[in-house]
Amino acid sequence: MNLPTRNTPAPGPKLVIANWKMHGTHASNAQLIDTLLPGLQALAGVQVAICPPMPYLAQLAGLLGHTGISLGAQNISERTQGAFTGEVSGQMLADLGCGYALVGHSERRSLYGETDAQVAMKFEAALRAGLTPVLCLGETIHQRRAGNTNAVIGSQLRAVLEQVGMAQLARGVIAYEPVWAIGTGETASPAQAQAVHAHIRQLLAAQDAEAAARMRLLYGGSVKADNAAQLFAQQDIDGGLIGGASLDAEAFGAICRAARKPHLTGLAARSHRTAHN
Ligand code: PGA
């Protein structure tokens, strides 16, 4: 299978998304944003989004205001509206000022039983509401040891492709998050991450090479201040989804700065490589 071959413009800046998970209070959120903002606002060339817990979306919408930092949700209902106690619709998230919604985070899949089919519906629901879905894919350590990483990623991706098609899939972002690296302190090596990212891009390129080259593929799983630059320097890594380190203003600021540094990455490098193959 070939890598993308079209010589299209370089993709935009890297995207770094903070996933605060179930952490925070009004007071601690305000303090974290207060500490982060001066550094982040001065950062050109990187897009940043913050996904706080649902009850704090309105607070964060107020704090982020016109800073240029986007707001995202950690989850979204696959339904539009109705008798779905405890659920939050895409329309509500958009109404609160969200631009992004995570779908299929491994904690949602493993702890709350979200299936590939449900994740695909959530992806579609986000698009319907005008949000950018961030589709999380990842294998467990057992799947990796059994040599099934690419097969697992492929079937997670296919479920969404079959539901929405490539043109709609390309409106989202993909986050590769090996389950064994999430919250464990064990990061995929840059080479391991790059290999899976390249595989994902090849699967996408089989559908539409140009769209595949443009799609943003984020890496997530124990990204820290000291490993971010190496990960972000990989050709097919277009940013990061950051859990634990996003709760530490200094660490998250450093990760965002690492994403801004000029690398031989993204489409420029991809086009360069394919042009010389
Ligand atoms: P982590 O989490 O950075 O704490 O490993 C990443 C994620 O779950 O999105």
Answer whether 255 contacts ligand 1 (Cβ < 6 A): no
Q: Is residue 73 part of a domain?
A: yes
Q: Is the pLDDT reported for residue 272 higher than 50?
A: no
Closest C-alpha residue for ligand 1 atom 7: 243
> Cα–Cα distance between 228 and 17 in angstroms, integer?
13
What is residue 11's predicted lDDT score, i.e. its pLDDT?
A: 66
Mutate to test the pocket of ligand 1, among 51, 140, 177, 180 (most ligand atoms within 8 A of CB): 177
Q: Which two tokens stand for residue 71?
A: 């707001």
Residue 29 lies in a domain: no
pLDDT at 97 over 50: yes
- Decide whether any atom of ligand 1 lies within 6 Å of the 52 Cβ: no
The catalytic residues are: 105, 177
Domain annotation covers residue 33: no
Domain hosting 57: range is: 14-21+47-79+90-125+132-240
**Are 160 and 169 within 8 A, CB to CB?**
yes
Looking at residue 42, what is its pLDDT?
82
In this predicted structure, what is the pLDDT of residue 276?
A: 41
pLDDT, mean over the chain:
91
Measured between alpha carbons, how far is 152 from 139 in angstroms, rounded to an integer? 6
pLDDT of residue 274: 43
Mean per-residue pLDDT, 205-224 = 96
From the alpha carbon of 241, which atom of ligand 1 is closest?
9
- The pair of three-digit structure tokens given for residue 258, joined into one six-digit string: 């690492």
- Decide whether any atom of ligand 1 lies within 6 Å of the 178 Cβ: no
For ligand 1, say whether the CB of 183 is within 6 Å of any of its atoms. Answer: yes
Domain annotation covers residue 34 = no
Q: Confidence band (pLDDT; 50, 70, 90) for 199?
A: very high
9 found inside a domain: no
Which ligand 1 atom sits nearest the alpha carbon of residue 185? 5
Pocket test for ligand 1, best of 102, 241, 252 (most atoms within 8 A of CB): 241
Question: What pLDDT score was predicted for residue 259?
Answer: 96
Q: Could you tell me if the CB of 19 is within 6 A of ligand 1?
A: yes
Structure tokens at 187: 């990061």
Secondary structure of residue 2 in the 3-state scheme: coil
Ligand 1 centroid distance, CA of 128 (Å) = 27
Examine residue 30 and state whether it is found in any structural domain, yes or no: no
For residue 262, the model assigns a pLDDT of 61
117: left (phi over 0), alpha (psi -120 to 50) or beta: alpha
Atom of ligand 1 nearest to the CA of 102: 9
- The closest-lying atom of ligand 1 relative to the alpha carbon of residue 220 is 6
pLDDT bucket at 185, cuts 50 / 70 / 90: confident
Assigned domain for 165 exists: yes
Number of structural domains the chain divides into? 1
Residue with the smallest CA separation from ligand 1 atom 1 is 243
CATH number reported for the structural domain that contains residue 218 in this entry: 3.20.20.70
Confidence of residue 270 (pLDDT cuts 50, 70, 90): low
Nearest to 49 by CA among 100, 109, 5, 10: 100
Q: Is residue 111 part of a domain?
A: yes
pLDDT digits (tens, 9 = 90+) for 38-95: 999 888 899 999 999 999 999 999 999 989 999 999 999 999 999 999 999 999 999 9
State the distance from the centre of ligand 1 to the C-alpha of 6, rounded, in angstroms.
33
